[in-house]
Amino acid sequence: MRNLDLDTNATTADGPDQAYFIAAEQAVQSAVAAAMRELHPYLGPVGPSEFALTLERRIRGMIKLARSNNPPDFADPAPRRVFIDMDGVSVDFDGYRRAHGLTVDDIKATPGAYARMAPMPGAIEAIRALIEMGYEVWFAAKPATCTAHTYSDKASWVFEHVPELSHRIILTHNKGLLGGPNDTLIDDALDRAACEGFAGSIIEFNAAAGWDWPRIVHFLTP
C-alpha cells in the first residue's frame, strides 16, 4: 500500500479511490501511534522502532485484506493469477512439527523433512478447483535463508502433490515483487516476505477465523 499526501483537499480531484487510501493511511498512522503509546513501557529488549515497523506492516496487510472484500473483476481481460503460499496454507507445517516433536529450526536443519509433510486439509482439492475455474495458479513460497535443501524440498513437495504446477513454483523472500492489480495472493503471514507490497488482492488464510479453503474457493468463484 502506497503512502499518500494526507491533504484531504486531494480527495475531490481523484475520486473515492483516492479518498479510501487517504483514510486508510490515516488509520494506519493513528493505530500505530496509539499502540506505541500503550505498549512502549513493556517492549523490553524489542526495539520500539522495530516493533512499530512490524505493527505497521501488519495493519497495512489487514487494510489491504479489507480492500479485497470484493472478488477480482472477472470482466477484466488481464490474466487472473493466484499466488499461493506453502507453509500453513498448502502444507501442514505445524502438524508435522507437532507430530514429530520438532522445533522450526529442527525442521529447517533436516533435509527431506519438508518434502514429507502432508497437505493442509482441502488444499489440493481447492488448488485444482481454482485451476478448473481458469485461474493461472502459482506457488509462491519463502524458503529458509541460506538453507539450500529447503528450496529443493519445497519443489519436491509440489512435484509429488500437485505435479501439474511443477513449472509454476516461485521461491522468493519478497512476494511484493509478484503480481498485478488483478491478481490474488493467498498467505497466512502478511507481515513476512514483503506481502504488504503485493500489487493485487490479498486473502489471509486463517482457518480459525473462517478463512479456510472452502470459503476461499467460494469467494473466488466467478
- Tens digit of pLDDT per residue, the chain (222 long)? 333 223 333 333 445 455 555 666 666 667 767 776 666 666 555 555 666 666 666 666 555 555 555 555 555 555 589 999 999 999 999 999 999 999 999 999 999 999 999 999 999 999 999 999 999 999 999 999 889 999 999 999 999 999 999 999 999 999 999 988 889 999 998 888 888 889 888 999 998 888 899 999 999 998
Distance CA 205, CA 90 (A): 10
Question: What would the grid cell of residue 25 be?
Answer: 493511511
Report yes or no: 102 and 47 within 8 Å, Cβ to Cβ.
no
If 0-12 CB within 10 Å is exposed, 13-18 middle and 19+ buried, where does residue 78 land?
exposed
Residue 220 is placed in which grid cell? 473466488
C-alpha cell at 165: 504446477
What is the Cα–Cα distance from 26 to 201, expressed in whole angstroms?
20
For the beta sheet containing 136-141, the strands, ordered from the edge strand earlier in sequence to the opposite edge, are: 169-171, 136-141, 81-84, 184-187, 201-204
Please give the Cα distance from 222 to 72 (Å, whole number). 9
Residues 6+ apart with CB under 8 A from 211: 203, 204, 205
Grid cell in block for residue 169: 513454483
Report the distance separating Cα 177 and Cα 86, nearest Å: 17
The whole-number pLDDT of residue 179 equals 85
Query: Which residue type, as a one-letter code, is found at position 221?
Result: T
Whole-structure pTM value: 0.68
Cα gap 27→92, rounded to integer Å? 34
Q: Assign residue 120 a region: left if phi > 0, alpha if psi is -120 to 50, beta otherwise? A: beta
Grid look-up 479485497 returns 68
Confidence at residue 45, expressed as pLDDT on a 0 to 100 scale: 53
Backbone φ and ψ for 109, nearest 5 degrees, come out as -90, 0
Q: How many CB atoms lie within 10 A of CB 195?
A: 26
